[in-house]
Amino acid sequence: MPRSVAIFANPFKKRSKKEVSRLKVWLARHKISILPSRSISQAEVIFSLGGDGTVLSLAPQAAKLGIPILGINLGRLGFLTASDANDMGRILNLWMKNQLVTSERMMLEVEAPMLKRPLIALNDAVVRTGATSRVITVDASVENESLGCFVGDGIIVSTSTGSTAYSLSASGPVVHPGMDALLLTPICAHSFTQRPVVFPAYQELCLELHERRTSDDVQLTLDGQKTFMLKNGDKVYIRKAPFKLKLLCDPEMPYFKLLREKMSWGGK
């Protein structure tokens, strides 16, 4: 039986305060203590109340500590959450009975000149222009073998988990999150021959920025959470991280059922 948890909620969600109060009442009734954020390393589970963005913000720390995340969706899609707030009671009961499914998700390790140390991302690392009126040039290579020069709005490198995020909106493939893979998806490529590519997770990708003009508005963004500016000649190395994130999932919502419901697949 679990004894201690940590709770993180998105304060900008309208239902956040109400649902956190409801969760605290349930935990108190079951004699489960709530740890302060500074003691997160001692938690058995991290509760994330918000949307996918809330899970993404917690993912690097949770993965490094090996603590699973149980997400309660207060947002829209909620690909990374176990349930919506309306179904929280059922999910909590399943959790108490140890009946939730643990899904281990590969993460990215990203290295770049402006970073003091390699950083971790669950969904994606994106090199893109911050201006809508111009294109950028990025040389991509895998294991020191050139993939070619990509001209357009940028490049997304994502995990299988991130295949349903920004990569999908750029016409990237949907990849089952149980697969360890790297996806390279061009953003608004200026050539019909530039297509998404899927690589095995043991390979390392390198994106090198080539800009003749000032490139003060070219950005490296991790999971839509952290943004850094790139300059001409900068190289961004992206590889499989040395640890995975543990997500607690509803056994009644397998992945393809989740896709059908969230994306209205197969609807008439």
State whether the Cα torsion 62-63-64-68 is positive or negative: positive
> What does the block give as tokens for 142?
């895998």
- CA 21 – CA 79 distance, rounded (Å): 24
Catalytic pick among 52, 124, 153, 223: 52
Dist. CA 200–CA 212, nearest whole Å: 33
Task: For residue 223, give every residue at least 6 positions away whose Cβ sits within 8 Å of its Cβ, in sequence order, or none.
Answer: 56, 57, 59, 121, 122, 123, 124, 162
Is the C-alpha dihedral spanning 16, 48, 167, 217 positive or negative? Answer: positive
Rg (CA), the chain: 20
Is 153 one of the catalytic residues?
no
The pair phi, psi for residue 17, each rounded to 5°, is -60, -45
Structure tokens at 7: 């709770």
Q: Which amino acid is at 108?
A: L
Query: For the chain, how are helix, strand and coil distributed in percent, rounded to 5?
Result: 25, 35, 40
Q: How many CB atoms lie within 10 A of CB 222?
A: 22
First vs last C-alpha separation in the chain: 44
Active site residues: 52
